[in-house]
Amino acid sequence: MKKSKLLIIASFFSIYVIWGSTYLLNKIAVTEIPPMLLGSIRFGSAGILIMIIAKLMKLSLRITKRQLLNVSIAGFLFLVYGNGVFVWALKYVDSGFAALLASTQPLFVLFLMRLIDGKRMQGKSIIGVLLGVLGMYLLVSQKEITTSEGTITGILMILSCVLSWSYGSVFVSKANLPKNFFVSTGYQMIMASVLLCICSFMFNENMKAISNISPVTILALTILIFLGGIVAFTAFNYLLKTVSPEKVATSAYVNPVIALFLGWYFLEERLTTQSVIASVVLLTGVYFITSRKRISKTKVTTKPQKI
């Protein structure tokens, strides 16, 4: 029991801190590597390494047709659309700003669970939604943003990615996946890597770009593969099977703070007064959503998995 609690704490640290830094790392990497190709390399490398580790740990790699379909769907929702398109949008949006938009995930999860599970909203949830909408309005209504070329498109695409990621969270909590979450993560990454590679060819991305990248980009890609990919995404899948999707979504109000600081410190991204106010309002709304009392436990079709 104690070991399980420590594992949950370590997993939350991973999705809070490590994922908070991935906005900066992706922003750096996408300046030299096309987004779909970047995702394919990142998740393909991480997925293969996970499978090698799983084999060394003598974990079963067996997968049914239904489970293969489910990991493909999850890989698409999380990594192909949810991450691949998000990274593309970073070409037009600051990393800290993108992280704030991503912090609306609990709001999306709440609406989806309302639609799928029929859960009614509590008072705190309604306050959280209102604050979240106000925060988003303050964030995207700034003159510096609305007049920038491509920024509106970037914002809309990021919000669609948040929706994809949110639905993926609800889907995985109920889906029939490989029993071990580590193996499940590996399959999701490998399937996503294949799909992202196909997308890269379809969009005629420059494959030769990978042969001429700077040491900084190589370092960013390495951290994305090992920490952002293997460690954090495995922790994320473990938490989805161990705690509720809403609790996992609390990372949405920790990640932006880390991303904003790192973007300001390393990339000299601008922080306007309105952005700071908007972030406070938005994250307060997220807090109200995630801190409400639960009416009943989310019903899932699979038991929590053990490593």
Q: pLDDT of 130-166, one tens digit each?
A: 888 898 888 878 877 666 778 889 999 999 999 999 9
Do residues 166 and 112 touch, judged by C-beta distance below 8 A?
A: yes
Task: Give the model's pLDDT for residue 146.
Answer: 63
With a cut of 90, say whether residue 202 has pLDDT above it.
Answer: yes
Q: pLDDT of 212-262, one tens digit each?
A: 999 999 999 999 999 988 898 888 888 888 887 767 877 766 788 889 889
Total domain count, the chain: 1
With a cut of 90, say whether residue 183 has pLDDT above it.
Answer: yes
Task: Output the CA–CA distances (angstroms, integers) from residue 83 to 9, 22, 108, 116, 278, in the order listed.
Answer: 24, 11, 16, 23, 24
DSSP of 243-287: S-HHHHGGGGGTHHHHHHHHHHHHH-----HHHHHHHHHHHHHHH
Task: Give the model's pLDDT for residue 217.
Answer: 96
Residue with tokens 């990372």: 251
pTM over 0.75: yes
Q: Which domain range does residue 34 map to?
A: 2-290
Does 138 fall in a domain?
yes
Task: Give the model's pLDDT for residue 297.
Answer: 40
Does 305 fall in a domain?
no
Task: Give the model's pLDDT for residue 214.
Answer: 95
With a cut of 50, say whether residue 300 has pLDDT above it.
Answer: no
Task: Give the model's pLDDT for residue 282.
Answer: 84
The stretch 105-118 carries a mean pLDDT of 79
Task: Give the model's pLDDT for residue 241.
Answer: 81
Does 296 fall in a domain?
no
Does 301 fall in a domain?
no
Query: Taking every pair of C-alpha atoms in the chain, what is the biggest distance, in angstroms?
Result: 56
DSSP of 231-251: IHHHHHHHHHHHS-HHHHGGG
Does 295 fall in a domain?
no
Mean pLDDT taken over the chain: 86
Does 299 fall in a domain?
no
Does 96 fall in a domain?
yes
Does 265 fall in a domain?
yes
**Helices assigned H by DSSP within the chain:** 2-13, 19-29, 35-56, 65-75, 86-89, 95-102, 105-117, 123-140, 143-146, 151-174, 181-202, 215-223, 232-242, 245-248, 255-267, 273-290
